[in-house]
Amino acid sequence: MDGHGSFRLEARGVRKSFGGVEVLHGVDLDAVGGSVLALLGENGAGKSTLVKIIAGDYQPDEGALTIAGEQVTSLDPLAARRFGIRMIYQELADAPPLSVAENISLGRWPSRRGVISWGAVRRRAQRVLEQLDVDLDLDAPVGSLRVGERQVVEIARALSDEARCLVLDEPTAALSAPEVERLFAFVRRLRDQGVAIIYITHRLDEVRALADRVTVLRDGDVVLNGASADLDRRALVSAMVGSSVGDVERPEDVHEAERSDTPALRLRDASVTGAFADVDLAVYPGEVLTLYGKLGSGTTEVAAAVYGLRRLSTGTMEIEGRPTTVAGPNEAIRAGIGYLPADRQREGAFMVRSVAENLSAPSWSRLARYGVVITRRLEAVAYRRWHDELSIRSRNDPEQLLATLSGGNQQKVLLGRWLERRSQVLVLVEPTRGVDVGARQEIYRSIRALASQGVGVLVSTSDYEEVVQVSDRAAVMARGRIVARLAGDDITTARLTQEAGG
């Protein structure tokens, strides 16, 4: 390998169009050996397209690359590989039926006199997994592994011969917290060995933890470039979303629900002993009603009770005017109630199932009657319907695993499943907890799109900016009771915090 830090990759004036639409408008990027460049941007900004050009997967329409001092106008994947460029793709690019060892040598089979050397395949795998300090069964088919483990295999493949530039495209979307820590440790180790790292993310905490420099793309342009130590969260967010985020704005399509309608959901004098009391509320079709309160104020318990996770001690619930009792989630779903819990990683999301299957999950019992072939076809129909309606950004592929979508898009899929189920009432608990600021705006748009389909949406949240951005009306809870009701221009962060604290 060259001396420490000597590798350099420069992209200059890169332009790229797809079907006549330009998605990169003359972009510059610099990756330097021994440092981590975070490439930031919202979904659709052009990050993946840019790094696919660097990996030789796409040809730029204009622009040039200089790699290790050599100017190239275009690259193919083989040439990129010879330059030491390795890519971990956003979507898993492995071969599920093949073993761990085979996947690590995929496309670069060690051979002697034209015959694949299976001993060498195993030795190579063993060596690289040892370097990475991970313990995986070399003979297990990767299709049987968890997504995080499959990603480790992808990393092992990328590193199984000398890498000088490693590109990771949103690698943590499907990883658990300890897996993220381990990935960061790999990345730091490689950086210290002089590898140039390009790390794509839209998670700002990862930028702080990992990056030396930051380049922000927005709609195909570089809008910010600098040392990460000089850039605070606010600067990064406003570069990503293109506006100042300090001023939280009310959505434009807020409306007063038609009060002549029957409420989609109504609670009268509802209480759960020890959690909340005397809760009266009505959510009308087509509106978003937010229950706002600090932790422990009772908002999550009200949401849980509507979905049958807590039994009402007193009071009644009505769905579209019909008195309804729900003894559990199955009854709630049958009554037309959908629910999105705060912890999506553990509850409700089937990360290693496809987007189409996830969209159809609450309808599985209905679909089960039809057998596999028809079910697949119905899932594909559901996929096409909601993919566009909720602007889910993914490959145009119903079979794509949920885990490979960004957090915000996973959330949209989970919203879409309740539309597919034709729920009249949707209960969302902390819908953007752990979601980055940019993706949050998209989720708010999806929630409002849901309401505009005629669903009555009840959001339980402890985030007052969320209340301002998503609600038609808001009820503030404190110590288990509703203490204020706000609508229209009265929904401000100042009012909300004042009422919740008082």
CA–CA gap between residue 402 and residue 394 (Å, rounded): 9
Residue 48 lies near Mg ion (rule: CB under 5 A): yes
Q: Which does 49 bind (CB under 5 to 8 A by kind): ligand ADP, Mg ion, none?
A: ligand ADP
Residues 87-116 that bind Mg ion (CB under 5 A): 90
Closest contact distance (angstroms) between CB of 41 and ligand ADP is 5
Among 47, 164, 412, 417, interactor with ligand ADP by CB under 6 A: 47
Residue 56 lies near ligand ADP (rule: CB under 6 A): no
CA–CA gap between residue 495 and residue 500 (Å, rounded): 8
Q: Where are the beta strands (DSSP E) in 228-368?
A: 265-272, 276-283, 288-292, 314-319, 322-323, 337-340
- How many other β-carbons are positioned within 10 Å of the β-carbon of residue 256? 11
Which one of the spans 39-47, 203-211, 229-237, 265-273 is the region binding ligand ADP (CB under 6 A)?
39-47
Closest contact distance (angstroms) between CB of 154 and Mg ion is 15
CA–CA gap between residue 502 and residue 499 (Å, rounded): 5
Q: What is the DSSP string of 450-471?
A: HHHTT-EEEEEES-HHHHHHH-
Quote the radius of gyration of the chain (alpha carbons, Å): 25
Alpha-carbon distances, residue 108 vs 58, 120, 200 (angstroms): 21, 11, 26
Among 33, 46, 63, 263, interactor with ligand ADP by CB under 6 A: 46
Closest contact distance (angstroms) between CB of 263 and ligand ADP is 39
Residue 77 lies near ligand ADP (rule: CB under 6 A): no
Residue 18 lies near ligand ADP (rule: CB under 6 A): yes
Q: What is the DSSP string of 40-97?
A: E--TTSSHHHHHHHHTTSS--SEEEEEETTEEES---HHHHHHTTEEEE-SS----TT
Q: Where are the beta strands (DSSP E) in 128-251?
A: 165-169, 196-201, 213-218, 221-227
Among 38, 40, 49, 390, interactor with ligand ADP by CB under 6 A: 49
Residue 44 lies near ligand ADP (rule: CB under 6 A): yes
Check if the beta carbon of residue 426 is closer than 8 Å to that of residue 335: no
Residue 45 lies near ligand ADP (rule: CB under 6 A): yes
Residue 423 lies near Mg ion (rule: CB under 5 A): no
Q: Between 157 and 196, how does the x/- string for binding to Mg ion read (CB under 5 A)?
A: ----------------------------------------
Handedness of CA 378, 381, 387, 393 (dihedral sign): positive
Check if the beta carbon of residue 45 is closer than 8 Å to that of residue 71: no
Residue 409 lies near ligand ADP (rule: CB under 6 A): no
Check if the beta carbon of residue 284 is closer than 8 Å to that of residue 263: yes
Structure tokens at 362: 């609450």
Residue 370 lies near ligand ADP (rule: CB under 6 A): no
CA–CA gap between residue 420 and residue 458 (Å, rounded): 18
Size of the site for ligand ADP (CB under 6 A): 11
Which one of the spans 82-90, 104-112, 143-151, 444-452 is the region binding Mg ion (CB under 5 A)?
82-90
Residue 23 lies near ligand ADP (rule: CB under 6 A): yes
Closest contact distance (angstroms) between CB of 48 and Mg ion is 3
Q: Nearer Cβ to ligand ADP, position 18 or 370?
A: 18
Residues 227-246 that bind ligand ADP (CB under 6 A): none
Q: Nearer Cβ to Mg ion, position 90 or 409?
A: 90
Closest contact distance (angstroms) between CB of 16 and ligand ADP is 8
Structure tokens at 279: 């809760």
Q: Which of 289, 264, 223 is nearest to 25 (CA)?
A: 223
Closest contact distance (angstroms) between CB of 208 and ligand ADP is 20
User: Residues for the chain: how many in total?
Assistant: 502
Which one of the spans 5-13, 37-45, 101-109, 247-255 is the region binding ligand ADP (CB under 6 A)?
37-45
Q: Nearer Cβ to ligand ADP, position 52 or 191?
A: 52
Residues contributing to the site for ligand ADP (CB under 6 A): 18-19, 23, 41, 43-49
Residues contributing to the site for Mg ion (CB under 5 A): 48, 90
